[in-house]
Structure 1
Amino acid sequence: MSDRARVAGYAATIFLSSAFLLMLEIAAGRLIAPYVGVSLYTWTSIIGVILAGLSLGNWAGGVWADRGAGPRAAGATLIVGALACLAILWLLTLVAPVLQASGLSLLSASFLLVLSLFFLPAMLLGVVTPLLTTLALRLDTRTGHIVGLMHALAALGSILGTFVTGYWLVQYLGTRNIILATAAGLFLLALPLLRGARLPAAAAALLGALLLGAATLSRDGFADPCDRESPYFCLRVVDSSAEAPFGEARSLILDHLVHGTNHRQQPGLLLAPYVQLMDELVLEHYRGDPPAGLRFFFAGGGAYTQPRAVGALYRAPEVTVAELDPVVTEVAEGALFVDPSALEVHHADARVVLARLPEERRFDVIVTDVFHDISIPYHLVTREFARQVRGHLAPGGLYTLNIVDRFPDPLLVKSLVKTLGAVFPRVDVWLDRVPEAPTRMTYVVVAGERDDWPDTLRARRGLPRSWLRVTAPLLATGTPLAALPLLTDDYVPVDRLVQSLYFTGLGL
């Protein structure tokens, strides 16, 4: 083989190994989502761990090359890297349950899970580029040309792996198949570099792969926990009939959180206290007698629990839903007893949908029920979005939304009260109970013109419950409102405000 052909082979190997590494990185976010969710902190862990492994591997590869490592060393590294990729699914079955039961914070659990699964593969693949670049320089004296070419190909491979995985592979192959395909690709990539290698070494690699496969299979590691994977979520539907007083109920889990529970026989039976509260607030707003033809807009569909209930509980309502993920709608229709034909569904972001609607289009009730992991998407809590909501509210209309935050002293809820207060005449906060110890709670915030809400709201229908208006005590204790930011599109530190959910055990 000519020197030029060998350099081309090394270049192709660098390009493809870099693509495989980024395939692993993108797949990592989906793989760990059912256990620790997807947030700024999980992606920070993924990117940081992959870069740390890559950096260590780059250093080790350079040192190894200076000590005389040849093509077979690069091939052996790719084989071990393939075995490390195969081990990811096996390790996941061992590590994830331990971390979930450990009581560690969401941030710590995310970091340790990523570290245990992806550091070693990233380090091994990091060895390849400096090692093969050095080997190429022994065949071609154009130092700048070779170094620049290899770095450019590594970057291009990374770009290709990112886009192909994010835009296509996750949706068509699924996360586990991507991991397996990456391992298989690394095995194939190693073969030209191992030409002439001894048979025992090849047999050992094959035996290692078979043993890892058997170990993973014995722990059901190849089974996908998702019923469906979309570009946004791992979706699962589980039976929740035990939570219902009668009949059949099913819940939708997106990544690792329940996003709604639907009762098959009674669409209007709202099992989650905060969901029932949001309906009761509408009833109370209309003094127990809502008129026919109310116009509802829901930012977020999820299990479509509330839009489905509105169709059953109100007279001739008009219901519009902005749900970003069309797969969520498909799952709701296929497994959660939802009939989307009775709804006006837009598969787009809520802000985009409201911006596209005619300015004169008004709604009597607007509901934001959107979560990105345990946090609400940043752009749906800002003053600019609040102005957009108010612009589409009919006179005397009602805006409600639910927020997950800590108790006591929920900083995000307080900042949201401050932000909405800059747009709406009146803002109130509700809870179904006042906890005795610090915990994670779902708050319901209501904004509009009404200023005579009762201190206690008792259910007019459905399960017998009551809720407390906690606006005054909430704002009078803990961090003062003046010390908290007004949330804008330019400054919306949601993760900082709810960081206690990530830095303590409250987030898991």
Structure 2
Amino acid sequence: MSAGTGVVLGAVFCAGAGTMVVELAAVRLLAPWFGASTGVWTNVIGVILLALAVGYVCGARLSMSGSPDRRLGFALVAGCLLTAVLPLVAGWVAGTFMPAGLALDEAAGLMLWGSLASSLVLFAPVAALLGCGCPLAVEALQVGSGGHAGTAGGRVLGMSTLGSLVGTFGTTHWLLPSCGLKGTFHVAAACLGLAGVVLLLRTRTPRASTVMLVLVALGAASTLMPESGSLAPGSGWEVLDQRQSEYQRLAVLQDVDGGQRRLVANEALDSFQSVWSAQTGLLGGGQYYDYFALPAWWAEPQERWDVLILGMGAGTAVRVLEGALPNGVELCSIGVEIDPVVVELGELYFELQTDGPGRRVLAGLDARAALLGVESPQDLVIVDCYANNMEIPPHLCSVEFFGEALGVLGTGGFLMVNAAGFGFDDPVVDALGRTLAQASGAEVLALRVPFSRNCVLVARVGLPVPRPGALGWDIGGAVGRALLPALEIPSAWKLVEPPPGDMRAPGAQVLTDDRNAMDRLQRASLRAGRQRWVVGA
């Protein structure tokens, strides 16, 4: 293989890697405004595929005249510059389609269309330029070394695919955790720019030196500019820490009095993932975490209370339980959190204990996979699994998943699900309630959390769930006085019965691994919530 052939194939390798870096990091770049749901992923992937197709056609036309390797070099340099500025302009572009200050219900209609428009503006030009690379490279190999078109095309496609593999694994496992979001785009830009400059230098044209100087100047300037979309805390809050993990961008906020901290993940809307208060026990103020303390009071008296928390976050539920269990009851908790950086921030700012007596944290594990390793029967399983504070992964809300979660409970054990929604008729709350009832084969108690967008679903193994007016509901004590009166209002609770018929039939109101419309239900929930607030319901 000649030196010229190696340079061209190396450039194709860089183009393939750069395409995947942009594609995988693109969703993370948009997540603070639009989340990272399947719909957003679909928009990003669709836009990049469309842009690549346009690039292939344009590259084929460009290859018919002039020097294909020089044009390939210019395409890579232009792609380098656009890639470098993506994290700098993303905030302005995304903010245009998702204005700041919107509540979740107000932003419902913009999640999908806004992410599509932002993807077209931000990522289509870069992908189109990189798409030009393959036909130009094939022509460059044909002109430089002759041979069959099939041979040249196969070598180009093979090298491009290898580059895509490196970009795929490198982005997730190395670039994002080590370099952050801005650094990831700059590393990709540097690789594209280096390949482009090498190609231009081989052509020995005066433009090469000029392009190289412009590239160095713009690249250096972009590293000094602040990343767009950095979290701006509201009045009365300050940022203690910001991190970029493999899954999301995280920020720890503290109020100016130092009495409360919040963990904010991948969003610029009006919600948060975890909360910390200086005192353990009930948080008050409509926090759904408080209701996780009720089962320990409803259950028969016992010395030890075993709790499995799926979606632990920074440990808010643990701190609530530590201060709200009946006197003399020892808390033994297992917390499962898929993002290790969340656990690290929990240790630093939320007093999360990961290895103390009666405390165990499984970081980096998916909630459903973690269920397979739970051996001893649990008294309470809490399911609080959300991505971007509002998206429930479909495999963590199916009848099969709830069945597995109920399977780790002992007789009389409780399963509680945080269901974010705007009431019992909310599409998400309704579907989750029916699905949990189907999995348990018994009635499920749905509780509406006052002053909140949350409902809590309660199922029980082998015994009826408590309900207002029934034996075992009244618990007394500070926890009972704080929580039960608001739940005894007729509109604050509801019993959900297992739905009749075949749960796998089309149109059934039960979510399964095979048929799970959670993405659609969540969009419908946000639209319904917006309408509810507009009419003052």
Query: Residue by residue, what CA displacement relative to the aligned partner does 1:378-416 show, whole Å, maximum 9, x if unpaired?
Result: 222222222222222222221111122355732232222
Return the TM-score normalized by structure 2. Answer: 0.81
1:249 and 2:260 are equivalent in the alignment:
yes
Match of 2:486 in 1: 466
Cα separation, 2, equivalents of 1:408 and 1:419: 14
Q: Which amino acid aligns with 1:66?
A: M
Query: Residue by residue, what CA displacement relative to the aligned partner does 1:251-270 show, whole Å, maximum 9, x if unpaired?
Result: 1112115111111x212242
Distance 1:502 1:56, change over 3 A: farther
**Equivalent position to 1:494, from 501, 506, 518:** 518
Q: Which amino acid aligns with 1:73?
A: R
Query: Residue by residue, what CA displacement relative to the aligned partner does 1:433-490 show, whole Å, maximum 9, x if unpaired?
Result: 599xxxxx322111123355118999636699824534269999xxxx9954322222
1:129 and 2:118 are equivalent in the alignment:
no
1:331 is displaced (CA, Å) by: 0.8
Distance 1:451 1:171, change over 3 A: closer
Q: Which amino acid aligns with 2:321?
A: V
Q: Which amino acid aligns with 1:6?
A: G
Whether the 8 Å contact between 1:72 and 1:197 is mirrored in structure 2 is no
Match of 1:235 in 2: 250
Match of 2:368 in 1: 351
Distance 1:198 1:5, change over 3 A: closer
Secondary structure, in 3 states, of the residue corresponding to 1:169?
helix
Q: Which amino acid aligns with 1:402?
A: N
Q: Which amino acid aligns with 1:231?
A: E
Q: Which amino acid aligns with 1:418?
A: R
1:131 is displaced (CA, Å) by: 0.9
Match of 1:370 in 2: 385
1:62 is displaced (CA, Å) by: 0.2
Cα separation, 2, equivalents of 1:218 and 1:346: 38
Cα separation, 2, equivalents of 1:142 and 1:339: 64
Q: Which amino acid aligns with 2:295?
A: V
Secondary structure, in 3 states, of the residue corresponding to 1:66?
coil
Cα separation, 1, equivalents of 2:451 and 2:256: 27
1:298 is displaced (CA, Å) by: 0.9
Match of 1:404 in 2: 420
**Any residues of structure 2 matched to 1:317-466 within 5 Å, and which?**
317-342=331-356, 343-347=359-363, 348-358=365-375, 361-373=376-388, 374-406=390-422, 409-424=425-440, 425-433=442-450, 441-448=453-460, 449-454=463-468, 460=480, 466=486
Distance 1:222 1:365, change over 3 A: closer
Query: Residue by residue, what CA displacement relative to the aligned partner does 1:320-369 show, whole Å, maximum 9, x if unpaired?
Result: 212222221111001122222341212322332222233xx211111111
Question: Which deviates more, 493-502 or 184-193?
Answer: 493-502
Q: Which amino acid aligns with 2:480?
A: R
Cα separation, 2, equivalents of 1:235 and 1:176: 14
Secondary structure, in 3 states, of the residue corresponding to 1:298?
strand
Query: Residue by residue, what CA displacement relative to the aligned partner does 1:220-268 show, whole Å, maximum 9, x if unpaired?
Result: 54979982222222221111467xxxx61111112115111111x2122
Name stretches of at least 5 consecutive residues in structure 1 with no aligned partner. 436-440
Q: Which amino acid aligns with 2:352?
A: V
Return the TM-score normalized by structure 1. Answer: 0.86
Secondary structure, in 3 states, of the residue corresponding to 2:432?
helix
1:306 and 2:320 are equivalent in the alignment:
no
1:171 is displaced (CA, Å) by: 1.3
Distance 1:503 1:132, change over 3 A: farther
Distance 1:506 1:214, change over 3 A: farther
Whether the 8 Å contact between 2:17 and 2:166 is mirrored in structure 1 is yes
Whether the 8 Å contact between 1:269 and 1:309 is mirrored in structure 2 is yes
Query: Residue by residue, what CA displacement relative to the aligned partner does 1:87-130 show, whole Å, maximum 9, x if unpaired?
Result: 21221132133233175521112222222221111111111110
Distance 1:403 1:206, change over 3 A: farther
- Compute the RMSD of aligned alpha carbons: 3.4
Q: Which amino acid aligns with 1:84?
A: L
1:505 is displaced (CA, Å) by: 9.2
1:39 is displaced (CA, Å) by: 1.2
Identity of aligned residues (%): 26
Match of 1:203 in 2: 210
Match of 1:438 in 2: none
Aligned residues: 488
Q: Which amino acid aligns with 1:486?
A: V
Whether the 8 Å contact between 1:82 and 1:184 is mirrored in structure 2 is yes
Q: Which amino acid aligns with 2:377?
A: R
Cα separation, 1, equivalents of 2:423 and 2:110: 16
Secondary structure, in 3 states, of the residue corresponding to 2:454?
strand
Whether the 8 Å contact between 2:35 and 2:266 is mirrored in structure 1 is yes
Cα separation, 1, equivalents of 2:246 and 2:85: 25
Whether the 8 Å contact between 2:437 and 2:444 is mirrored in structure 1 is yes
1:497 is displaced (CA, Å) by: 2.2
**Equivalent position to 2:179, from 161, 173, 183:** 173
Secondary structure, in 3 states, of the residue corresponding to 2:283?
coil
Match of 1:54 in 2: 52
Secondary structure, in 3 states, of the residue corresponding to 1:490?
coil
Cα separation, 1, equivalents of 2:69 and 2:466: 78
Distance 1:164 1:107, change over 3 A: same
Whether the 8 Å contact between 1:171 and 1:230 is mirrored in structure 2 is yes
Match of 1:17 in 2: 15
Q: Which amino acid aligns with 1:411?
A: P
Cα separation, 1, equivalents of 2:439 and 2:17: 48
Cα separation, 2, equivalents of 1:153 and 1:344: 46
Cα separation, 2, equivalents of 1:421 and 1:70: 64
